[in-house]
Structures are given as C-alpha cells and as structure tokens.
A and B are shown apart, each in its own frame.
Chain A
Amino acid sequence: MKLGFLVDLNLCMGCKGCEIACKVENEVPLSSWRLRVKYVDVGVFPETKRTFTPLRCNHCENAPCERICPVSALHYLDNGIVNIDNERCIGCAGCVMACPYGAIYIDPETNTADKCTYCAHRIAGGLMPSCVVACPVEANIFGDLDDKESHISTYIMQARGNVQVRKPEKNTAPTHYYVGGGNQQLNPLASKREDGYSLFNNITTLKHIGGH
C-alpha cells in the first residue's frame, strides 16, 4: 500500500474548510499550519482570476526530512506516510531546513518539529483525513496509489497529462499530486509577495519560535 493525495485545483474554491478541519483535528497551535490554502491572483484588470492552492506535506518517497533527521523521529510508515515521533524529536530543525516545500514547522508548544501526517491516526482507525472529509467540493482525493482501482488512481489516469507535483526537479518523488493549476500556483518564485495586496494580513516573517 502506498497512500497518496491529489488536489483538483479546478474544483478548489478556497473556502479553507480543510485548513480549519486540520487545525481542529490535530490541535495545531496559533502561527503554525500543517495545511494551508494559498491565494494567488493572476492577470491584469479586468482579466483577472484568483487561484487557490492547498499546500501540505508531500510525503515524498525520497524524503529529505527523513534523511536528515538525526534520531529517526521522522520515519516512514508501511503505508508510505512520512510520520513524526514528537517524543523522539530533539528540535534541531534540520527537517525544517531540508524540506523544499516549507511543510515542516517547530511547534511552539512542544518545541518539536511537526507537519501533516495525512492524519495517520485517523487512517489507522479506518477514517479519511479530516481535510478530505471537510472539503465541500471533493477537491481533496486520498487513497492507495498501488491500487489501480482506487479513486485516486483512476483520477490520475483520467487526468493524465495534467497531473503535476511540486518541484519535481528536487527528486523527492512526492506522493501528493495536483490536477490543473499553473506555474504561479505551484512555484513559489513565480508570484510576487507585496504589502498592500494581501487580503487579511501583512506580508510577514515569523520571529524565531520555540525554546529560544
């Protein structure tokens, strides 16, 4: 079994339901995010469009975070999930530096690294990840990539030629796919970040958080 995720960006409407469901399910502290939806506006008025891109851990098959972790706190589960053991983590932040997707953070309450685990605890109990359940348009599709009959496999087959991963050049082999969307959505360097253009918040950088 190899679990994977797919987001159909043609369907996502940026409601952030998945964000909130994730926060609640995993008790993610303020200022930290396991999953977030990034808004990018493209075009010049009146030909403009707002795009929405849910971003989370890509659970790479060749995960840099797993490789750099000095104590195996980040480890693979048999189903392909890159899981994290907060009790073992020493908080060196090597994984934060190694992840090319910015998907790992230092939890300010536990002072350990944390990230999306595809809700491994829910999957172990036969449930779907909370973000999948919360999505009102079924843009989040989750399942077994090794099973050719699974919903995610058939979706990938039907959308072939239009399935992307983030930063394929990093050779991380993500198991998180996107259907639709463009370079502006998946490449962080393809869009500007300018104060005055942000909807609810300033363009900010977090102060160093955690134990020191």
Chain B
Amino acid sequence: MVEHSIAATEAVVTLDVALPGIVWGWIITMNMWAKSIGTGILFVGFYLLKKYPEQTEWIRLPMTLISIVFIHIFLFFTVIDLHQMFRFWHIFAHPHWTSTITIGAWMATIFVGLLFGMAYASIIKKDNALFDKFMGAAVVIAIPVTLYTAGLMAQSTARELWQMPTEMAQMVLAATLSGSAAMLLMGGRLPYEAKRDLAVILGLSALAAFLLYMGEYVFGFMKAEEVAVVLEYIKGNGEYATMFWLGQTFAFIIPMVLTYLSVQNRSSSLLTLASVSAIAGLWVSKHVWLVIPQLLPMS
C-alpha cells in the first residue's frame, strides 16, 4: 500500500466502494504520442526549410502527409475515447471556453485545415510560395495544439503530478524529440548537415526531457502529499517502476547516447536506431506519466 497512516491512530478503511481505476488509459497515450509526431515533424520541417531551403525542398509533401496521418491518428483516438463519441459535435455547437478540451479541439480543427491547405498547395497547385504561407500559419497553430494537453492535465485539480509549467515544457520536448526522429526516419536523402542538426535537436530534446523527469520524479524532495504517494508507483518495487525506467531508457537515454555517437562518427544507421528508440520510448514514458496519478485515491 502506498497510503500512509498516522501511527497513533492506525486508521484503516473498512468499508468503501471500489475505486474508479484508470479512466484515461492507453487510448489517451496514443492520442498524446501521435499528436507529438504530427506537430513535431512540422516544427523541425519548418526549421529545415528555412535553414537549408534548396537541399530540403523535397520534404514539403512527405512532411505534410506524415503530419496529416498522425494528426488523424490523434483525432481518431480522441474521439473513440469519448463515451458518447457521436456527440463530439457538441464541442463546436456548445463550446465552453474555460475548458482546454474545447481550446484543443478548435485549434486541432484549424490545424487540420491548414495541413490540407499545405497538401493542396503541394499536390494540386505545386506552389511552394503558397505552401510556405500555409505552413507558417500551421506552425503557429501547432504550438497550442501541442500545448493544450498540458493545460488539460493541469485542470485536473487533485492530480498534483500534472503541473502546467513542467508539462508545457514536456509537451514541446516530446514534439521536437518525436518530430526530429520521424524526420530522420523519413529523410534518407537529407544532406549530412541537416541530419546533424536533427541529431542535435533529438539529443538535446532527450536530454532536457530526461532532466525534467529526473528533477521532478526522482531528485525532487519537497513534494505535496499526493505527489509523494503517486511517485511510490515508480520508485523501488513500485508497480510502474520497470515501465518508467524502460520508458526513460528508450525515449531519452539511448537516443542521447546514439545521437552523440552518430555525430562523432557521422553514422546514419545510429540515427535510425536512435529515432526508433525515441519514438517507441516516448509512448511508454507518456503512458506511465498518464496512468500513475490516476491510481491516487480521491476520497
């Protein structure tokens, strides 16, 4: 048991109803994971097109298609997690603007529209200037699409592990980590300099995210009672300790090491490994982060 008791009273719950269990499970993990890739690839693609416009010109269409696919995976899992999925339109008919779910839904809808604008400019009009206009707007809207989940989690008042400032940083880092990894997997024809830049983005994103996790989960001692209880699940023999460290290893530690070695040795194959590890590990680390605060007894 993770709950503490006051020794002098030895309080024990002797009759209660069942605890609600995990309400947001792997479907929401899929949601966050796919969204990170869908917006992240646009962030790094925008950077590459600005820095290496001639050598990376060809990435416009594949980058757009990957973003469209992963944003639709995100939307699919968002909708199927609703217990009344056919009422999804209520968000547009009866929006409640204090809810970050509402903000996210509207922003994601605009984002999808801009992505299809990019596809239209690339496939039908074959107009790079028009594409870049759509992309500029899409990159701006991708920021709230990336960040709204942090706000949503922070609105969960008693889940003290989900704090807005940290989670905003984690959401951005997840996007740059998975976006650069997806771009590396897609971009065999990219020049070495572009791959090196992506490796640096991947490695530094992994480093920063890992430091945040360690600072918040492992080395931060001054914690609210709820946080301390939740963190018991990933410490020692905690139920999610193995999964937590697997996630940290694959999402952050392995990519950090491999990107460093790849830059040292100019090795593309190491970057492929780092990318696969980062994308797979990100799912695991997000899942642990999502599940453990839900194990906290609320009443």
Task: Check if B18 is an interface residue, CB within 8 A of chain A.
Answer: yes
Task: Check if B129 is an interface residue, CB within 8 A of chain A.
Answer: no
Task: Check if A188 is an interface residue, CB within 8 A of chain B.
Answer: yes
* A208: contacting residue among B22, B88, B105, B156, CB under 8 A: B22
Q: What is the total of A-B residue contacts with beta carbons within 8 Å?
A: 207
Task: Check if B23 is an interface residue, CB within 8 A of chain A.
Answer: yes
Residues on B with C-beta less than 8 A from A170 are 157-158
Q: How far is the CA of A198 from the CA of B18 in the complex (A)?
A: 11
Question: Given known contacts A92-B81, A208-B22, is B96 in contact with A198 (CB within 8 Å)?
Answer: no
Who on chain B is nearest to A51 by CB? B11
Instruction: Tell me what chain B mostly uses at the interface: helix, strand, loop, or mixed.
Output: loop
Task: Check if B297 is an interface residue, CB within 8 A of chain A.
Answer: yes
* B12: contacting residue among A68, A191, A201, CB under 8 A: A191
Instruction: Tell me what chain A mostly uses at the interface: helix, strand, loop, or mixed.
Output: loop
Chain A 77-106 interface 0/1 with B at a Cβ cutoff of 8 Å (1 = within): 000000000001111111011111111011
Question: Given known contacts A44-B10, A191-B5, is B226 in contact with A70 (CB within 8 Å)?
Answer: no
Task: Determine whether the beta carbon of A210 is less than 8 Å from that of B83.
Answer: yes
Task: Determine whether the beta carbon of A205 is less than 8 Å from that of B11.
Answer: no
* B80: contacting residue among A101, A172, A212, CB under 8 A: A212
Who on chain B is nearest to A97 by CB? B156
Interface magnitude class on chain A = 35 or more
Task: Determine whether the beta carbon of A103 is less than 8 Å from that of B11.
Answer: no
Q: How far is the CA of A68 from the CA of B24 in the complex (A)?
A: 15
Residues on A with C-beta less than 8 A from B193 are none
Question: Given known contacts A105-B20, A192-B1, A193-B297, is B90 in contact with A71 (CB within 8 Å)?
Answer: yes
| 19 chain-A/chain-B pairs, Cβ below 8 angstroms | A31-B18, A41-B12, A64-B156, A68-B99, A68-B100, A71-B102, A90-B90, A90-B91, A96-B20, A101-B158, A106-B83, A111-B83, A190-B3, A191-B12, A197-B12, A198-B16, A200-B15, A211-B82, A212-B83
List the 8 closest pairs (A to B, CB-CB), nearest first.
A91-B83, A102-B298, A100-B158, A191-B11, A39-B15, A184-B11, A70-B101, A111-B83
Question: Which residues of B are interface residues toward A (Cβ below 8 A)?
Answer: 1, 3-6, 9-25, 27, 80-85, 87-88, 90-91, 94-96, 98-102, 105, 152, 155-159, 225-226, 229, 294, 297-299
